[in-house]
Structure 1
Amino acid sequence: MPLSAILPIQDSGASLLQASSSDVDEHCASLGGWRLSYDQISAGAFRGSFTQLSLPRLDVFREITSQQVRQHGLLGDGCFGIALPWQGDGEINCNGASVAGAQVIACIDAEIDICTPKSFELRGVVASAALIEELAARLDIELPRMVWHQLRVIEMAQAPVARLRAHLAAIHDTITTTPERFDQPAVRAGLEDALLVEIMDMLPTARANDSGRSAAARKRTVERARALMHGSGERTLSLLEVCKAVGASPRKLGYCFQEVLGTSPMHYWRAMRLNRVRRDLKRAAGTGASVYDVAVRHGFWHFSQFSLDYKRHFSELPSETLRRTRLAP
């Protein structure tokens, strides 16, 4: 019996969102109804694209980012999400754990906090948590409570993961070649059933990643350090001061940052401050603020070095960002 017969709904049609951007904030704003914030970690020109096929009960997405990015926030209230890393120049870091093999990223009504590598592609499915819970109850499936209210890297049986991967590949091939097929109600119903069957087959096989406990400890160390970095006010803390506050040696803190965020503490801190400068410059139209004013506000006292770092990170000078902002309608 198809799942659509178990939980019948009125077919409201399908919609297709496709967006591309050369700015990390613009890319983030294109992510449908997701409430996420992105920070560009690696240096270089950013290129991103986002495709979302919205079906009556599911959203199927594909996201591509060219640079290393930290993503944090929420998919939405009461959302279930499951995602498969597709490709990238390195591993994805999720709450201190990396994703590989038959591992997937899953969460139910949880905060997102992941760091993706360069040239990264992620594909997955988002639905309401209520739908997943109701289907599980009707089908007598016990859902893994490990994914409630937290983002987790989890091991799952390889066969349903492989089948879900094949479905996602076929969906995006169809979007590229014949997207009008999704205008047919029978196609939408069959596609939703196929995806939900694999998800309901995968979830009972979920088990925690073996490195969960040590990953959680690394995550806590990084979170304490980040809170100090972001909450240090006008005075820029030294790395030694941060290490003393969190009770970790510079080597240990560097290891934790590398495992959780895929970068060093100093590189992360500089990247976060550069992202903040860029956002302030893009909001500076009509304020009379200068690049120097904004840079100093975020702790960059060596202006020529700041300009070099900014251009290396975003592939344009800060003055160019400000000029484009002021010329924008």
Structure 2
Amino acid sequence: MNDEPGVEKAVRVRKHSTGDIDELASSVRGWDQRYDQLGPGRYCGNLTECWIDDLQVIHERSNRCLHQMGYAWSGARVFGIPMAQSGAARFGTQIIEADAPVTLGPGQELDYRTPSTLDVMSIVLSADTLSQLSLTLDGFDLESALGGSLCLASDTAGLMELRALLQSLSQVLKLTPELLAYPAVRKGLRHTLLTSLLGAFSNQDNRHESNQRTLQHKLIVERAKQYIFETPQDPLTIAELCAMIGVSRRTLQTCFQKIMGTNPVHYLRAVRLNQVRRALRQSTVHELQVQDIACSWGFWHLSSFTADYKRMFGELPSQTLHRSR
């Protein structure tokens, strides 16, 4: 980097490509995330992260359906803008079109079941900054208007303009990230991004969750997930889950179908397969075999396990284990 006037040497742009969902989940600065792969096939994902002063911009792509869980940094307001997706996704309790913009407020949990192909850009800023800026520019508090909403009402033309701006930024990050070393560039880009953001989402109606049945479904699913993750080395059966939560198998299935888009049997299997993969990747004990790890996670039909594993991750479990060593 040269020493011209108006140029800073530190440019906060990071790019990361990986075939490991755990690597990608942990690579975003300030976030506490966990990803589980739900769609079958070899995973490939890449992420570009940029800080424009106090504004975090994240561009994430992946080629498989994922369940993304976790939290952004403290006090953050997140706007997720899908760039080129189709089909349906689930965000919290909402079934949404994959191209629908979404948001998370401070302390809200990320609970996102992605479409099979993910291409999303997120703008993350302090909720206080959003509140002050919207009051200054538009005379109303957008942060307060958003409340606990997850899905965003948007102005069609404004959303198109915001997407075009984000696409241009993506090209800059890909081809000429050094431009962000100039304070004047960052200042102008930050202002343009935020004013475009306000223009796209200034017509919020302070919507809140009102469907009590949907909320009840989510509560049951959350309790089930809590039990599942609390006993990782003691895989639960559906009967045990139903007894612990106090619901019938049919109710549990309905809740998972509504909230997660899959039945609890498939979800449990996916979680256990992801845990086996993590154990295989982290194994340093040479005496341990695939059978030992698979059986410790409750897989007793080893040929079916191997087929399910290869279908999910695009490789044999023995290949995962061999690569870790």
TM-score range (shorter-chain normalised) is 0.7 to 0.9
CA distance in 1, matches of 2:270, 2:234: 17
Structure-2 residue corresponding to 1:260: 259
Report which stretch shifted further, 266-275 or 229-238: 229-238
CA distance in 1, matches of 2:230, 2:58: 35
CA distance in 2, matches of 1:31, 1:228: 27
Q: Which amino acid aligns with 2:49?
A: Q
Q: How many residue pairs end up in the alignment?
A: 316
The Cα offsets for residues 148-177 of structure 1, whole Å up to 9 and x where unpaired, read as: 5x5712323333322211211111133334
Q: Would you say the 8 A contact 1:285–1:322 is kept in 2?
A: no
Does 2:12 align with 1:21?
A: no
Does 2:112 align with 1:114?
A: yes
CA distance in 1, matches of 2:195, 2:302: 57
Structure-2 residue corresponding to 1:218: 217
SS in 2 for 1:191: helix
Q: Would you say the 8 A contact 2:44–2:62 is kept in 1?
A: yes
How far 1:18 moved relative to its partner? 1.3
Structure-2 residue corresponding to 1:289: 288
Structure-1 residue corresponding to 2:272: 273
Does 2:41 align with 1:52?
A: no
TM-score by length of 2: 0.85
Q: Which amino acid aligns with 2:218?
A: K
Structure-1 residue corresponding to 2:5: none
Structure 2 gap segments, 5+ residues each: 1-7
Structure-2 residue corresponding to 1:84: 81
Percent identity of the aligned residues? 31
The Cα offsets for residues 133-192 of structure 1, whole Å up to 9 and x where unpaired, read as: 3323444322354755x5712323333322211211111133334434333333222211
Structure-2 residue corresponding to 1:38: 35
How far 1:243 moved relative to its partner? 4.2
Call closer, same or farther: CA 1:257–1:197 in 2, change over 3 Å: same
How far 1:234 moved relative to its partner? 5.8
Report which stretch shifted further, 22-31 or 113-122: 22-31
The Cα offsets for residues 243-286 of structure 1, whole Å up to 9 and x where unpaired, read as: 45545554553343233223222111101011111111222114
Structure-1 residue corresponding to 2:174: 176
Call closer, same or farther: CA 1:166–1:213 in 2, change over 3 Å: farther
SS in 1 for 2:319: helix
Structure-2 residue corresponding to 1:166: 164
The Cα offsets for residues 198-227 of structure 1, whole Å up to 9 and x where unpaired, read as: 233344422327875443232112212323
TM-score by length of 1: 0.84
